[in-house]
Structure 1
Amino acid sequence: GKDHGVAVSNNDDDAAVCSSVRASDCVTSFDLVKLAATPLITVPFRYLVVHQMIPPARLEEILRDFPAALLSTALANKKNVEERDVRATGQVKGAYAKLIADVKSPEFRAALGRKVGMDLSKSFTRVTLRGACQPKPCGGEGSIHVDHKEKAVSVLMYLNQDWPTGEEGAGGHLLLLKKPPRKGLDALGVDNVIAEVPSYGGDMVAVV
Protein backbone atom coordinates (compact mmCIF):
# COMPACT_ATOMS: atom_id res chain seq x y z
CA GLY A 1 0.00 0.00 0.00
CA LYS A 2 1.01 3.62 -0.45
CA ASP A 3 2.05 5.41 2.73
CA HIS A 4 0.10 8.55 3.63
CA GLY A 5 2.83 10.11 5.77
CA VAL A 6 4.73 9.03 8.83
CA ALA A 7 3.24 8.96 12.33
CA VAL A 8 5.81 8.99 15.12
CA SER A 9 5.71 9.74 18.82
CA ASN A 10 6.75 13.11 20.18
CA ASN A 11 9.98 11.61 21.50
CA ASP A 12 13.04 13.27 19.95
CA ASP A 13 14.91 9.96 19.60
CA ASP A 14 12.07 8.43 17.57
CA ALA A 15 11.87 11.49 15.34
CA ALA A 16 15.59 11.27 14.65
CA VAL A 17 15.31 7.62 13.68
CA CYS A 18 12.44 8.24 11.27
CA SER A 19 14.08 11.26 9.67
CA SER A 20 17.20 9.25 8.89
CA VAL A 21 15.58 6.31 7.09
CA ARG A 22 13.11 5.77 4.28
CA ALA A 23 9.46 6.54 5.13
CA SER A 24 8.57 2.92 4.35
CA ASP A 25 10.86 1.82 7.22
CA CYS A 26 9.02 3.98 9.77
CA VAL A 27 5.78 3.24 11.59
CA THR A 28 2.99 4.35 9.25
CA SER A 29 0.12 2.01 10.18
CA PHE A 30 -0.86 3.84 13.35
CA ASP A 31 -0.49 7.12 15.20
CA LEU A 32 2.27 7.03 17.83
CA VAL A 33 1.62 10.68 18.72
CA LYS A 34 -1.92 9.73 19.73
CA LEU A 35 -0.55 6.82 21.77
CA ALA A 36 1.79 9.18 23.63
CA ALA A 37 -1.07 11.60 24.36
CA THR A 38 -3.54 8.98 25.65
CA PRO A 39 -3.65 8.72 29.46
CA LEU A 40 -2.75 5.42 31.11
CA ILE A 41 -5.44 4.25 33.52
CA THR A 42 -3.96 2.54 36.57
CA VAL A 43 -6.94 1.39 38.69
CA PRO A 44 -7.82 -1.44 39.16
CA PHE A 45 -5.05 -2.38 36.70
CA ARG A 46 -3.02 -0.60 34.04
CA TYR A 47 -4.64 -0.21 30.64
CA LEU A 48 -5.30 2.34 27.93
CA VAL A 49 -7.66 2.73 24.99
CA VAL A 50 -6.49 4.69 21.94
CA HIS A 51 -9.37 5.61 19.63
CA GLN A 52 -8.51 5.55 15.92
CA MET A 53 -4.97 4.44 16.64
CA ILE A 54 -5.07 3.36 13.01
CA PRO A 55 -6.15 6.45 11.01
CA PRO A 56 -9.29 5.91 8.84
CA ALA A 57 -7.47 6.27 5.52
CA ARG A 58 -4.83 3.78 6.58
CA LEU A 59 -7.46 1.37 7.92
CA GLU A 60 -9.14 1.41 4.52
CA GLU A 61 -5.87 0.40 2.88
CA ILE A 62 -5.30 -2.39 5.42
CA LEU A 63 -8.77 -3.80 4.79
CA ARG A 64 -8.18 -3.66 1.05
CA ASP A 65 -5.21 -5.99 1.58
CA PHE A 66 -6.86 -8.10 4.32
CA PRO A 67 -6.10 -11.81 3.71
CA ALA A 68 -9.12 -13.49 2.13
CA ALA A 69 -8.15 -16.73 3.88
CA LEU A 70 -9.17 -15.18 7.19
CA LEU A 71 -12.70 -14.64 5.89
CA SER A 72 -13.54 -17.61 3.70
CA THR A 73 -11.53 -20.68 4.73
CA ALA A 74 -11.06 -22.90 7.77
CA LEU A 75 -8.78 -20.22 9.23
CA ALA A 76 -11.81 -17.96 9.67
CA ASN A 77 -13.37 -20.41 12.12
CA LYS A 78 -10.43 -20.34 14.53
CA LYS A 79 -10.45 -18.00 17.51
CA ASN A 80 -6.91 -16.82 16.92
CA VAL A 81 -4.73 -17.59 13.93
CA GLU A 82 -0.97 -17.56 14.27
CA GLU A 83 0.90 -15.16 12.01
CA ARG A 84 2.88 -18.02 10.43
CA ASP A 85 -0.34 -19.79 9.37
CA VAL A 86 -1.63 -16.68 7.61
CA ARG A 87 1.73 -16.09 5.93
CA ALA A 88 1.62 -19.68 4.67
CA THR A 89 -1.37 -18.71 2.49
CA GLY A 90 0.78 -16.21 0.59
CA GLN A 91 -1.82 -13.50 1.22
CA VAL A 92 0.09 -11.24 3.62
CA LYS A 93 0.94 -8.23 1.46
CA GLY A 94 0.75 -4.47 1.05
CA ALA A 95 -0.73 -2.40 3.86
CA TYR A 96 -1.63 -5.52 5.85
CA ALA A 97 1.98 -6.73 5.80
CA LYS A 98 3.10 -3.26 6.83
CA LEU A 99 0.70 -3.33 9.79
CA ILE A 100 2.27 -6.54 11.09
CA ALA A 101 5.76 -5.13 10.57
CA ASP A 102 4.82 -1.96 12.47
CA VAL A 103 3.34 -3.94 15.37
CA LYS A 104 6.65 -5.79 15.69
CA SER A 105 8.83 -2.71 15.15
CA PRO A 106 11.28 -1.32 17.74
CA GLU A 107 9.56 2.08 17.41
CA PHE A 108 6.17 0.76 18.49
CA ARG A 109 7.72 -1.39 21.21
CA ALA A 110 9.56 1.65 22.62
CA ALA A 111 6.51 3.94 22.44
CA LEU A 112 4.29 1.39 24.17
CA GLY A 113 6.96 0.67 26.78
CA ARG A 114 7.26 4.35 27.67
CA LYS A 115 3.50 4.63 28.03
CA VAL A 116 3.12 1.66 30.40
CA GLY A 117 6.42 2.22 32.21
CA MET A 118 8.15 -0.98 31.09
CA ASP A 119 11.27 -1.89 29.15
CA LEU A 120 9.96 -4.03 26.29
CA SER A 121 13.16 -3.98 24.25
CA LYS A 122 13.87 -7.66 24.90
CA SER A 123 10.29 -8.90 25.01
CA PHE A 124 9.03 -11.40 22.44
CA THR A 125 6.19 -10.17 20.21
CA ARG A 126 3.57 -12.76 19.28
CA VAL A 127 1.07 -11.73 16.61
CA THR A 128 -2.25 -13.53 16.21
CA LEU A 129 -4.98 -12.60 13.75
CA ARG A 130 -8.72 -13.06 13.62
CA GLY A 131 -11.00 -12.72 10.63
CA ALA A 132 -14.39 -13.48 12.19
CA CYS A 133 -15.99 -14.18 15.54
CA GLN A 134 -19.19 -16.06 16.37
CA PRO A 135 -21.22 -15.37 19.56
CA LYS A 136 -20.73 -18.72 21.29
CA PRO A 137 -16.96 -19.28 21.00
CA CYS A 138 -16.00 -15.71 21.78
CA GLY A 139 -18.83 -13.93 23.55
CA GLY A 140 -20.65 -13.97 26.88
CA GLU A 141 -19.61 -14.97 30.38
CA GLY A 142 -18.42 -18.40 29.27
CA SER A 143 -15.65 -16.85 27.21
CA ILE A 144 -14.21 -14.40 29.76
CA HIS A 145 -10.47 -14.44 29.29
CA VAL A 146 -7.79 -13.84 31.91
CA ASP A 147 -4.38 -13.11 30.41
CA HIS A 148 -1.46 -15.37 31.22
CA LYS A 149 0.81 -13.93 33.90
CA GLU A 150 3.86 -14.31 31.65
CA LYS A 151 2.48 -11.75 29.19
CA ALA A 152 4.07 -8.33 29.64
CA VAL A 153 1.44 -6.38 27.67
CA SER A 154 -1.55 -7.54 25.63
CA VAL A 155 -2.49 -5.33 22.67
CA LEU A 156 -5.68 -5.57 20.62
CA MET A 157 -6.25 -3.62 17.40
CA TYR A 158 -9.71 -3.59 15.83
CA LEU A 159 -9.81 -3.47 12.03
CA ASN A 160 -13.59 -3.27 11.48
CA GLN A 161 -14.47 0.00 9.76
CA ASP A 162 -17.88 0.14 11.44
CA TRP A 163 -20.33 -2.01 13.40
CA PRO A 164 -23.99 -2.95 12.74
CA THR A 165 -26.67 -1.16 14.75
CA GLY A 166 -29.75 -2.58 16.44
CA GLU A 167 -30.21 -6.28 17.15
CA GLU A 168 -27.76 -7.30 14.43
CA GLY A 169 -24.96 -5.43 16.14
CA ALA A 170 -25.81 -6.41 19.72
CA GLY A 171 -22.67 -7.31 21.63
CA GLY A 172 -19.33 -7.86 19.98
CA HIS A 173 -17.46 -5.18 21.91
CA LEU A 174 -14.70 -5.75 24.44
CA LEU A 175 -15.57 -5.48 28.13
CA LEU A 176 -12.82 -4.87 30.68
CA LEU A 177 -13.73 -6.36 34.05
CA LYS A 178 -12.62 -5.67 37.62
CA LYS A 179 -12.74 -9.31 38.72
CA PRO A 180 -12.84 -12.69 36.95
CA PRO A 181 -15.94 -14.93 37.20
CA ARG A 182 -16.59 -16.58 40.53
CA LYS A 183 -19.55 -17.96 42.44
CA GLY A 184 -21.92 -15.24 43.56
CA LEU A 185 -20.47 -12.60 41.21
CA ASP A 186 -22.30 -11.23 38.19
CA ALA A 187 -19.13 -10.98 36.10
CA LEU A 188 -20.82 -8.98 33.34
CA GLY A 189 -22.86 -6.83 35.72
CA VAL A 190 -22.61 -3.05 35.75
CA ASP A 191 -20.62 -3.03 39.00
CA ASN A 192 -17.92 -5.28 37.54
CA VAL A 193 -17.49 -3.66 34.11
CA ILE A 194 -14.74 -1.04 33.95
CA ALA A 195 -15.02 -0.10 30.29
CA GLU A 196 -16.65 -1.15 27.03
CA VAL A 197 -14.44 -0.74 23.98
CA PRO A 198 -16.08 -0.60 20.52
CA SER A 199 -14.61 -3.27 18.25
CA TYR A 200 -14.14 -1.07 15.19
CA GLY A 201 -12.57 2.09 13.85
CA GLY A 202 -8.92 1.17 14.28
CA ASP A 203 -9.13 1.40 18.07
CA MET A 204 -6.33 -0.10 20.16
CA VAL A 205 -6.48 -1.54 23.67
CA ALA A 206 -3.37 -2.30 25.72
CA VAL A 207 -3.60 -4.15 29.04
CA VAL A 208 -0.68 -4.67 31.41
Structure 2
Amino acid sequence: MVLTLDSALEERTQPFQLFRGRDLLDDGQLKELLATMPTADIAKIAVEDPKHEKQYRMNLVDLIVLEKEAPVFPRLPAVWRDLVEDLRGAEFTTWLEKSTGIELAGLQRSIGLYTHRNGDYLSVHKDKPTKAITVILYLNRDWPVEAGGQFQIFASPKEGPTEEISPVGGQLLAFPPTDTSWHAVSKIEHPEGTERITVQIEYWLTTGLAGSAYRPQN
Protein backbone atom coordinates (compact mmCIF):
# COMPACT_ATOMS: atom_id res chain seq x y z
CA MET A 1 0.00 0.00 0.00
CA VAL A 2 1.31 3.46 -0.94
CA LEU A 3 -0.65 5.51 1.58
CA THR A 4 0.07 5.55 5.31
CA LEU A 5 -3.23 5.45 7.20
CA ASP A 6 -1.95 4.95 10.74
CA SER A 7 -3.54 8.05 12.28
CA ALA A 8 -7.12 9.27 12.41
CA LEU A 9 -7.96 12.58 10.80
CA GLU A 10 -8.01 15.72 12.93
CA GLU A 11 -11.43 17.40 12.99
CA ARG A 12 -12.41 21.04 13.20
CA THR A 13 -15.99 22.33 13.14
CA GLN A 14 -15.68 26.09 12.57
CA PRO A 15 -16.49 27.80 10.30
CA PHE A 16 -17.39 24.42 8.77
CA GLN A 17 -16.54 20.79 9.35
CA LEU A 18 -13.07 20.04 7.99
CA PHE A 19 -10.86 17.00 8.50
CA ARG A 20 -7.07 17.09 8.13
CA GLY A 21 -4.48 14.33 7.86
CA ARG A 22 -0.71 14.55 7.66
CA ASP A 23 2.17 12.41 6.38
CA LEU A 24 0.08 10.06 4.24
CA LEU A 25 3.01 10.00 1.79
CA ASP A 26 6.71 10.30 2.55
CA ASP A 27 9.22 12.43 0.68
CA GLY A 28 10.47 9.57 -1.45
CA GLN A 29 6.96 8.71 -2.59
CA LEU A 30 6.20 12.35 -3.37
CA LYS A 31 9.39 12.61 -5.39
CA GLU A 32 8.50 9.52 -7.43
CA LEU A 33 4.92 10.65 -8.05
CA LEU A 34 6.05 14.09 -9.19
CA ALA A 35 8.75 12.66 -11.45
CA THR A 36 6.27 10.38 -13.22
CA MET A 37 3.21 12.64 -13.32
CA PRO A 38 1.15 12.11 -16.52
CA THR A 39 1.61 15.69 -17.71
CA ALA A 40 0.93 14.89 -21.38
CA ASP A 41 -2.70 14.17 -20.52
CA ILE A 42 -3.43 17.37 -18.60
CA ALA A 43 -6.19 19.54 -20.08
CA LYS A 44 -6.95 23.13 -19.12
CA ILE A 45 -10.40 23.69 -17.64
CA ALA A 46 -11.95 27.06 -16.85
CA VAL A 47 -15.19 28.76 -15.89
CA GLU A 48 -14.79 32.54 -15.69
CA ASP A 49 -18.35 33.88 -15.64
CA PRO A 50 -19.44 36.29 -12.86
CA LYS A 51 -22.92 34.71 -12.91
CA HIS A 52 -21.43 31.37 -11.87
CA GLU A 53 -20.75 30.99 -8.13
CA LYS A 54 -17.72 28.82 -8.75
CA GLN A 55 -15.14 30.34 -11.07
CA TYR A 56 -11.80 28.74 -11.74
CA ARG A 57 -8.85 28.22 -13.98
CA MET A 58 -6.81 25.06 -13.55
CA ASN A 59 -5.80 21.80 -15.24
CA LEU A 60 -7.18 18.27 -14.92
CA VAL A 61 -6.36 14.67 -15.75
CA ASP A 62 -9.30 12.35 -15.09
CA LEU A 63 -8.09 9.13 -13.47
CA ILE A 64 -11.37 7.53 -12.38
CA VAL A 65 -14.80 8.78 -13.51
CA LEU A 66 -17.70 7.37 -11.50
CA GLU A 67 -15.81 4.15 -10.74
CA LYS A 68 -14.67 3.65 -14.35
CA GLU A 69 -11.03 3.90 -15.34
CA ALA A 70 -10.33 6.95 -17.51
CA PRO A 71 -8.45 6.47 -20.82
CA VAL A 72 -5.17 7.50 -19.20
CA PHE A 73 -5.31 4.78 -16.55
CA PRO A 74 -3.64 1.90 -18.49
CA ARG A 75 -0.72 4.21 -19.30
CA LEU A 76 -0.09 5.37 -15.75
CA PRO A 77 3.28 4.58 -14.18
CA ALA A 78 3.15 1.87 -11.53
CA VAL A 79 3.35 4.27 -8.57
CA TRP A 80 0.37 6.23 -9.90
CA ARG A 81 -1.68 3.08 -10.48
CA ASP A 82 -0.85 1.96 -6.95
CA LEU A 83 -1.93 5.32 -5.51
CA VAL A 84 -5.22 5.28 -7.40
CA GLU A 85 -5.91 1.71 -6.32
CA ASP A 86 -5.27 2.73 -2.71
CA LEU A 87 -7.75 5.60 -3.07
CA ARG A 88 -10.30 3.25 -4.62
CA GLY A 89 -9.78 0.59 -2.01
CA ALA A 90 -11.99 -0.44 0.88
CA GLU A 91 -9.26 0.30 3.45
CA PHE A 92 -9.10 3.98 2.49
CA THR A 93 -12.90 4.34 2.46
CA THR A 94 -13.20 2.63 5.85
CA TRP A 95 -10.49 4.91 7.27
CA LEU A 96 -12.41 7.97 6.04
CA GLU A 97 -15.67 6.65 7.45
CA LYS A 98 -14.16 6.08 10.89
CA SER A 99 -12.73 9.59 11.05
CA THR A 100 -15.66 11.49 9.56
CA GLY A 101 -18.69 9.46 10.63
CA ILE A 102 -19.99 9.68 7.05
CA GLU A 103 -21.18 6.51 5.30
CA LEU A 104 -19.23 6.24 2.06
CA ALA A 105 -19.14 2.55 1.15
CA GLY A 106 -21.04 1.87 -2.04
CA LEU A 107 -21.00 5.47 -3.27
CA GLN A 108 -19.57 6.17 -6.71
CA ARG A 109 -16.26 8.00 -6.79
CA SER A 110 -14.36 10.17 -9.21
CA ILE A 111 -10.61 10.75 -8.87
CA GLY A 112 -8.69 13.44 -10.70
CA LEU A 113 -5.20 14.92 -10.84
CA TYR A 114 -5.43 18.71 -10.62
CA THR A 115 -2.67 21.22 -11.20
CA HIS A 116 -2.66 24.99 -10.74
CA ARG A 117 -0.10 26.97 -12.73
CA ASN A 118 0.75 30.66 -12.81
CA GLY A 119 -2.49 32.66 -12.84
CA ASP A 120 -4.72 29.70 -11.95
CA TYR A 121 -7.18 29.93 -9.06
CA LEU A 122 -10.44 28.68 -7.58
CA SER A 123 -12.95 31.26 -6.38
CA VAL A 124 -14.93 31.16 -3.13
CA HIS A 125 -17.63 28.47 -3.37
CA LYS A 126 -19.31 25.68 -1.39
CA ASP A 127 -19.13 22.54 -3.62
CA LYS A 128 -22.09 20.64 -4.99
CA PRO A 129 -24.63 19.32 -2.45
CA THR A 130 -24.76 16.03 -4.37
CA LYS A 131 -21.36 15.10 -2.96
CA ALA A 132 -21.00 13.19 0.29
CA ILE A 133 -17.46 14.45 0.78
CA THR A 134 -14.57 16.06 -1.09
CA VAL A 135 -11.08 14.74 -0.34
CA ILE A 136 -7.87 16.51 -1.41
CA LEU A 137 -4.44 14.88 -1.28
CA TYR A 138 -1.46 17.23 -1.72
CA LEU A 139 1.66 16.19 -3.64
CA ASN A 140 4.04 19.17 -3.59
CA ARG A 141 7.27 18.41 -1.73
CA ASP A 142 7.99 22.09 -1.12
CA TRP A 143 5.74 25.09 -1.60
CA PRO A 144 6.81 28.75 -1.48
CA VAL A 145 4.23 30.70 0.52
CA GLU A 146 4.68 33.74 -1.73
CA ALA A 147 3.47 31.69 -4.73
CA GLY A 148 -0.17 31.72 -3.57
CA GLY A 149 -2.13 28.49 -3.97
CA GLN A 150 -3.34 28.44 -0.37
CA PHE A 151 -6.48 26.51 0.58
CA GLN A 152 -8.56 29.36 2.00
CA ILE A 153 -11.33 28.91 4.57
CA PHE A 154 -14.16 31.45 4.85
CA ALA A 155 -16.95 32.07 7.34
CA SER A 156 -18.75 34.09 4.64
CA PRO A 157 -18.08 34.72 0.95
CA LYS A 158 -18.33 38.46 1.66
CA GLU A 159 -15.44 38.44 4.13
CA GLY A 160 -11.76 37.58 3.91
CA PRO A 161 -10.43 34.11 4.76
CA THR A 162 -10.32 33.06 8.39
CA GLU A 163 -7.42 30.70 7.69
CA GLU A 164 -5.10 29.64 4.89
CA ILE A 165 -3.57 26.16 4.63
CA SER A 166 -0.42 25.72 2.57
CA PRO A 167 -0.44 22.83 0.05
CA VAL A 168 2.11 20.70 1.88
CA GLY A 169 2.85 17.28 0.34
CA GLY A 170 1.43 14.21 2.06
CA GLN A 171 -1.33 16.29 3.64
CA LEU A 172 -5.02 15.46 3.19
CA LEU A 173 -8.08 17.65 3.63
CA ALA A 174 -11.66 16.36 3.58
CA PHE A 175 -15.01 18.06 4.08
CA PRO A 176 -18.70 17.43 3.39
CA PRO A 177 -20.39 20.16 1.33
CA THR A 178 -22.78 22.28 3.39
CA ASP A 179 -24.36 25.73 3.19
CA THR A 180 -21.38 27.11 5.12
CA SER A 181 -18.42 25.25 3.59
CA TRP A 182 -17.01 28.30 1.81
CA HIS A 183 -13.48 27.75 0.51
CA ALA A 184 -11.16 28.77 -2.30
CA VAL A 185 -7.64 28.39 -3.72
CA SER A 186 -5.75 31.66 -3.90
CA LYS A 187 -4.31 32.68 -7.26
CA ILE A 188 -0.97 31.18 -8.23
CA GLU A 189 1.58 33.93 -8.73
CA HIS A 190 4.78 32.18 -9.68
CA PRO A 191 5.84 32.81 -13.30
CA GLU A 192 8.92 30.60 -12.91
CA GLY A 193 6.78 27.50 -13.26
CA THR A 194 5.87 26.23 -9.80
CA GLU A 195 2.76 24.04 -10.04
CA ARG A 196 0.36 23.26 -7.23
CA ILE A 197 -0.44 19.55 -7.55
CA THR A 198 -3.27 17.63 -5.89
CA VAL A 199 -5.31 14.48 -6.31
CA GLN A 200 -9.00 14.96 -5.55
CA ILE A 201 -11.45 12.22 -4.63
CA GLU A 202 -15.17 12.91 -4.79
CA TYR A 203 -17.78 10.58 -3.28
CA TRP A 204 -21.17 11.22 -4.90
CA LEU A 205 -24.56 10.84 -3.20
CA THR A 206 -26.18 11.20 -6.61
CA THR A 207 -24.38 11.48 -9.92
CA GLY A 208 -26.62 13.83 -11.91
CA LEU A 209 -24.22 16.75 -11.45
CA ALA A 210 -21.03 14.71 -11.23
CA GLY A 211 -18.27 16.43 -13.12
CA SER A 212 -20.62 18.67 -15.11
CA ALA A 213 -18.84 21.90 -14.14
CA TYR A 214 -15.44 20.47 -15.02
CA ARG A 215 -15.96 20.07 -18.74
CA PRO A 216 -13.55 22.19 -20.78
CA GLN A 217 -15.04 25.54 -21.74
CA ASN A 218 -14.72 26.91 -25.26
**TM-score range, shorter-chain basis?**
0.5 to 0.7
Paired position in structure 2 for 1:108: 92
Rounded to whole Å, the distance in 1 between the matches of 2:64 and 2:104 is 22
Paired position in structure 1 for 2:24: 53
Q: Is the 8 A contact 1:83 1:127 kept in 2?
A: yes
Q: Displacement of 1:45 after TM fit?
A: 2.3
Which of 137, 158, 161 does residue 157 from structure 1 map onto? 137
Counting helix residues as a fraction of each chain, which structure ranks higher? 1
Rounded to whole Å, the distance in 2 between the matches of 1:155 and 1:50 is 11
Q: Which moved more, 1:107-116 or 1:59-68?
A: 59-68
Q: Displacement of 1:76 after TM fit?
A: 4.4
Q: Is the 8 A contact 1:77 1:132 kept in 2?
A: no
Q: Displacement of 1:100 after TM fit?
A: 1.0
Secondary structure of the structure 2 residue equivalent to 1:96: helix
Paired position in structure 2 for 1:14: none
Which of 20, 23, 41 does residue 12 from structure 2 map onto? 41
Alignment coverage as a number of residue pairs: 159
Long gaps (5+) in structure 2: 46-57, 177-218
Greater length-normalized contact order (CA 8 Å, ≥ 6 residues apart): 2
Q: Is the 8 A contact 1:46 1:116 kept in 2?
A: no
Rounded to whole Å, the distance in 1 between the matches of 2:63 and 2:105 is 21
Rounded to whole Å, the distance in 2 between the matches of 1:87 and 1:125 is 12
Two-structure CA RMSD over aligned residues (Å) = 2.3
Q: Which moved more, 1:81-90 or 1:120-129?
A: 81-90
Q: Is the 8 A contact 2:145 2:166 kept in 1?
A: no
Rounded to whole Å, the distance in 1 between the matches of 2:132 and 2:167 is 22
User: Are 1:204 and 2:181 matched, yes or no?
Assistant: no
**1:121-179 CA deviation, whole Å, 9 max, x = no partner?**
111111121133342x424xxx223211111110011111111354xx2x111112222
**1:25-54 CA deviation, whole Å, 9 max, x = no partner?**
xxx2222112x1x32112332211212222
User: Are 1:119 and 2:103 matched, yes or no?
Assistant: yes
Rounded to whole Å, the distance in 2 between the matches of 1:53 and 1:109 is 14
Secondary structure of the structure 1 residue equivalent to 2:132: coil
Rounded to whole Å, the distance in 2 between the matches of 1:205 and 1:67 is 23
Cα distance 1:95–1:124, how it changes in 2: closer, same or farther (>3 A)?
same
Counting strand residues as a fraction of each chain, which structure ranks higher? 2
**1:96-140 CA deviation, whole Å, 9 max, x = no partner?**
1111111111110010011000221111111121133342x424x
User: Are 1:82 and 2:75 matched, yes or no?
Assistant: no
Larger radius of gyration: 1
TM-score, normalised on structure 1?
0.67
Paired position in structure 1 for 2:35: 64
Rounded to whole Å, the distance in 1 between the matches of 2:86 and 2:75 is 17
Paired position in structure 2 for 1:22: none
Long gaps (5+) in structure 1: 1-27
Secondary structure of the structure 2 residue equivalent to 1:120: coil
Q: Is the 8 A contact 1:158 1:204 kept in 2?
A: yes
Paired position in structure 1 for 2:50: none
Secondary structure of the structure 2 residue equivalent to 1:77: strand
TM-score, normalised on structure 2?
0.64
